[in-house]
Structure 1
């Protein structure tokens, strides 16, 4: 086996980026058949030249030494304030998240002080894939990093790569405009906590397609400030489905609009397509289409929850994020708990919810399943549904709540 290099690969990555940053349309190459151990790093603008390509064909792994992370960091690999940045290739970003998920003591299988580059298929590579065991009794910090984050960037492309075992979210876009993600693979166990596949926040004009997302939380999470999002031809599972929200926590204002999710397969997920908001929030979600969603053994395929609460109890509040123009069409397959759950606000009911060609059947007829549930949900049944969703209230409420001007997006 070739001996590992003892110089810092993080430093080498920084030097390569500094050189690439100076040249328009340059390429930074991470070669195949090698593993690179890289600590937390930021590839930053705003003074970089545009259209840099990060060619990832090898494997980048995260350190599992607590002293590398200190008290915890929000991200591991970060790209900030760039114009035209592409990450492409057939390589792997491996967050080695099991030491974070278990909150168990751990130690590196290699020396804490050494960041290394080794050939794939070596003895070290085999050791890296083995469970990490404690020798020194250290525990990972409570703040778990996102594996790959883009912030404040324009014209971002991520394609071909695999992101696996992230300590928390796998891929995040925050304050970005013009994003293309395709042929991406996300892979983490279904019981890995808070490991969203793709997390979108304050970002616009996003296209995600032709990808496989397996994780322990939402396959795609769409948060406040997102508009013009188009997601299609994605396989989701395991995971919690594709979600808008949660929105409006701690009485905040949330604005989401023009979201299309179509041609999706979901297998063994907690939810299918979901919108979740907290009581007490403001703003709106409007113009949403969920179309041609094939579900298999999904607990609840269609969910609106305006009483979302991740604590034991949450106080009832009258204000809410307003939901309108939510369209469901051709959602078919099997469920294991309940086909539809619409729990909308008393003060601001859900408006213009339309259902077309919904065909959902229990995974096993002999087990008792819950009937569709609707509360303060108004709209239209454009075709008969299986099962009948008779609880949807047709038309509009007679006394529709109206938000004040500062609540409207």
Structure 2
């Protein structure tokens, strides 16, 4: 037995040695694979990174597969000859920088800080490669007033972005509109006696316009003192606007903060707007618009309309305004249409809105008119499915806080009121809200009480097909 045990022990030792020897050889063989692709290499060190091109290097070729992971190309307008002294016309340099950035994926047009750039009316057109960024970190402005405006340039618009997809307009800088001299043209409403106008040319440029473009982001900029609309979107789809600051004086005429028309799938978030006209205005052809976390002051509040001017058709649907703060404004949330129009406004929701010293906190005006010459007409834009929920705060007692003036012939229907509590900012409670041909439901009692809202539906209502939407 002793001999057998010694033989067994020797056999086990030899077997273990042979096994360990095999493992060592295997590990040695594994480490020799230094030429394997990085994804399969056990070496934890990262693969070498190509150095960034120095400024004198030519721009990378976007069609070269080797550049698929390269950093975005930055096209600083000063590298194309822009001076940025506030008086030199830098338009040509901006156009060259735009063309270069447009031609590469994720190109950046950089308007650098610590400069003031003046450019004339310009159309930045596409199509461009995806991911284009127009980044304003300095100050960008048009010529100073109508007397300095080139005669060959359009006086209806300044910066136009046309036929673009997947573009971002952003930066830490300022778009300065130099609007003061435009506001003082004789044709402007406050220039004539008793609020009338005087003869003279009246065209004034919208500051920024996006036209026939898709999948846009506009963020973080300060935009101020526009000659007319600060920002306009027309014929666009897929727009996200956030963290903007828009401002102009209270008496600056027609200076809407953000205007959209014929535009779908829009989000406007966490922005501050104080201006002389509508904070946000929603025109015809708009749907699926979400406005959230916006502060409005000085002007005319958040408006749907005006719609149906000159007997035109207007269709607006699925608009939500929530978590907004409106202060010191002539209107709160408003829907305004002209007599004689056709179409419909439906699926409108105003929720969680705080008012502070606002005239006409909640207003529907289907008799909108800018003069005393408007005549009564029978056709009207049909309003239905409008909800006011959790609307609270204070109002200016010069006007009733609730005013629903619907068409004589086409009633407003399905108006829902819930948790509406509006108290006078100063003076006594105005307890006579106005309603005309308005039907709906009160889920809770309102302050002030609104006894003029009619229950149910009108006895006669035109078929929805007749409204053309």
TM over 0.5: yes
Among 138, 149, 172, the alignment partner of 1:58 is: 138
C-alpha distance in 1 between matches for 2:354 and 2:329: 12
**What does residue 55 of structure 2 align with?**
none
**What does residue 110 of structure 1 align with?**
none
Does the alignment pair 1:361 with 2:423? yes
Unaligned runs of 5+ in 1: 105-138
1:69 positional shift:
4.2
C-alpha distance in 2 between matches for 1:69 and 1:317: 43
**What does residue 282 of structure 1 align with?**
342
Among 238, 252, 259, the alignment partner of 1:178 is: 238
Contact 1:182 1:208 in 2 (8 A): yes
C-alpha distance in 1 between matches for 2:86 and 2:466: 58
Q: Could you say what the CA RMSD is over the residues aligned between the two structures, in angstroms?
A: 1.9
**What does residue 409 of structure 2 align with?**
347
**What does residue 258 of structure 2 align with?**
198
Among 26, 29, 33, the alignment partner of 2:114 is: 33
**What secondary structure is seen at the aligned counterpart in 2 of 1:280?**
coil
For the structure 1 residues 77 and 284, does the alpha-carbon distance in structure 2 shift closer, same or farther, using more than 3 Å as the test? same
For the structure 1 residues 57 and 67, does the alpha-carbon distance in structure 2 shift closer, same or farther, using more than 3 Å as the test? closer
**What does residue 175 of structure 2 align with?**
93
C-alpha distance in 1 between matches for 2:227 and 2:263: 23
Contact 1:269 1:299 in 2 (8 A): yes
Among 369, 377, 382, the alignment partner of 1:317 is: 377
Q: Which has the higher helix share?
A: 2
Among 375, 378, 383, the alignment partner of 2:444 is: 383
1:73 positional shift:
1.9
Cα deviation, 1:295-316, whole Å, max 9, x if unaligned, reads 0110110000001001122110
1:398 positional shift:
1.6
C-alpha distance in 2 between matches for 1:140 and 1:34: 35
1:67 positional shift:
5.0
Cα deviation, 1:20-69, whole Å, max 9, x if unaligned, reads 111111001000111001111110013x2122001110001110252524
Contact 1:170 1:196 in 2 (8 A): yes
Q: TM-score, normalised by structure 1?
A: 0.87
Unaligned runs of 5+ in 2: 1-82, 187-198
Contact 1:262 1:291 in 2 (8 A): yes
**What does residue 125 of structure 1 align with?**
none
Does the alignment pair 1:18 with 2:80? no
C-alpha distance in 2 between matches for 1:218 and 1:370: 27
Q: After the TM superposition, which residues 43-192 of structure 1 pair with which residues of structure 2 at under 5 Å, given as runs?
A: 43-46=124-127, 48-64=128-144, 66=147, 68-70=149-151, 73-103=155-185, 141-192=201-252
Q: How many residues align?
A: 371
For the structure 1 residues 394 and 147, does the alpha-carbon distance in structure 2 shift closer, same or farther, using more than 3 Å as the test? same
Cα deviation, 1:335-354, whole Å, max 9, x if unaligned, reads 11211000001111000000
Moved over 6 A (4+): none
**What secondary structure is seen at the aligned counterpart in 1 of 2:332?**
strand
For the structure 1 residues 309 and 37, does the alpha-carbon distance in structure 2 shift closer, same or farther, using more than 3 Å as the test? same
Q: Which has the higher strand share?
A: 1
Cα deviation, 1:360-386, whole Å, max 9, x if unaligned, reads 0111134x7472000000010000110
C-alpha distance in 2 between matches for 1:162 and 1:140: 31
C-alpha distance in 1 between matches for 2:160 and 2:343: 30
C-alpha distance in 2 between matches for 1:5 and 1:166: 17
C-alpha distance in 2 between matches for 1:67 and 1:219: 28
Among 297, 306, 320, the alignment partner of 1:260 is: 320
1:142 positional shift:
1.8
C-alpha distance in 2 between matches for 1:250 and 1:296: 35
For the structure 1 residues 40 and 141, does the alpha-carbon distance in structure 2 shift closer, same or farther, using more than 3 Å as the test? farther
1:254 positional shift:
0.2
Cα deviation, 1:182-216, whole Å, max 9, x if unaligned, reads 00000101110000000000000000010000110
**What secondary structure is seen at the aligned counterpart in 2 of 1:32?**
coil
Does the alignment pair 1:392 with 2:445? no
**What does residue 372 of structure 1 align with?**
433
Does the alignment pair 1:291 with 2:351? yes
C-alpha distance in 2 between matches for 1:173 and 1:3: 28
